[in-house]
Amino acid sequence: MLIEAADPKGLVRESYAIEGITLGECKSIFIDWALSLPLVVDTKDCLRSLLAHYGVPNPDHPMTGVLTEALTAPSEPKRRGGRAGRFAANL
């Protein structure tokens, strides 16, 4: 995947360029990045491309950790709480 397709607004690119960026700031940028992706794009493919392009040369950067965590995080919730969880269990 082209890096331009994986990071259409350049948000991840810019996060790697900011000197002294914090983990919290990287997480905020990540949310903005994820919300800006088109629905037809495979997010995991984008994450792999971004990690290969930016993460390999910058293994200690906080954005590398955020991208890695996003790639390895479970995609399905373990349980649903509240009213929705109670009604789903009774079906």
Q: Supply the pLDDT for residue 76.
A: 67
Query: Can you spell out the DSSP letters for 49-88?
Result: HHIIIIITT-TTSHHHHHHHHHHHS-SS-S---HHHHHHH
Domain housing 73: 3-89
Whole-prediction pTM: 0.77
**Domains in the chain, number:** 1
How many CB atoms within 10 Å of residue 54? 21
Backbone phi, psi, residue 12, to 5°: -70, -40
Per-residue pLDDT of the chain (91 residues; tens, 9 = 90+): 788 889 999 999 999 999 999 999 999 999 999 999 988 889 999 999 999 999 999 999 999 999 999 998 676 666 666 776 666 655 5
Q: Supply the pLDDT for residue 54.
A: 95
Q: Supply the pLDDT for residue 1.
A: 79
By CB atoms closer than 10 A (0-12, 13-18, 19+), residue 86 is exposed
